[in-house]
Structure 1
Amino acid sequence: MSDAGVLQFSIHTTRHLCLTDLARTGWELHAIATFAGHRSTETALTYIHLSGRELADKLARGMDHIHSWRVEMLARLGEQETKSPMTTMANPKAAQSAWEWPLRLDRFRRHERLSKNESDALQTLGFDLLRLDRDREHPQRQAIARLTAPLDEAVAALHWHPDSVFQRRFARYAAAIVLHRCGELGRDF
């Protein structure tokens, strides 16, 4: 193959490409291993080469579905707890101490579409700078303050004990994923 100008290409390379393509199309790992004739899924993993961007896209698609489901479930839960006459009749104190959704989304300005400044700021910052969450006074950070305010309150509402560097890093990554997805879709959450 070196005569054709393709370096390090062999018939075995096509096996890597085929199994990677199957993974990209959504095949389960066990099915790929069976198709390839491997006894172990770990052997099949050595043939699959997905980029970080592909994995991030798959995560974002899955998170969109999960997020909308959770919002719907929490909204239903909130409606049941605030409107249930059984709770009040059976235990009036329980009605007073009913769990409340920690965020009041009606306090935040919400638009369907991002402004040009917000969109440009998200594009300029990119995922890596969004996840670092530094320098809140930076002009791009100021431009997305409307988007970061509810995320900051959500993180504060988690009340992690004990607070650790891993939990803070998780919160920054989760916020960056949400903001990155807002930028891709051109709308807020």
Structure 2
Amino acid sequence: MLNHRVLFDEQTIAARVQELARVIARDLPEPTPVLIGMLTGAFIFLADLVRALGRLGIEPQVDFMAVSHYGPLVASSGLVQIYKDRAVEIKGRPVLLVDDILDSGQTLSMVRDHLAARGPSWLRTCVLLDKPSRREIAISADYIGFEVPNAWIIGYGMDASGEGRALPYVASVERKGEQG
């Protein structure tokens, strides 16, 4: 396992997801939105958010998109590709795009524009983590769980070359020589 430092523990994440759900539920124009999760990093966050919204009387329809600009290493290639598009019709529907982390902004910007072109009645973005120090495109998420430093993040669905995805917390990977 990679050396890492815990940034947000399970309880902190659970409390923040519930807070996000309350704000999103208040803002939704109707109680049956489409939530589109970005695979694979956001699947745990999306599942917890769907359950939190359900406890508030929201009945979301769930779909996924697979988009990537990361190769096998822990650095962005800068190229964004859609591997799997959403299957649910979103024209005239409220849509919440859910991602694990807003980093350079390339992926969120491209996917948001892709979805906006399909005519949803309401389109917002929600990210568990925001890393503004790495932003290359002027974009911000509508709903943000936590801000994180410029480090590689693992846990709670996110990985580094396949490691760390199952950790129940969010952590930063420590490079050789770093002390936590």
TM-score, normalising length from structure 2? Answer: 0.28
Greater length-normalized contact order (CA 8 Å, ≥ 6 residues apart):
2
Structure with a larger share of its residues in helix: 1
Structure showing greater Rg: 1
TM-score, normalising length from structure 1? Answer: 0.27
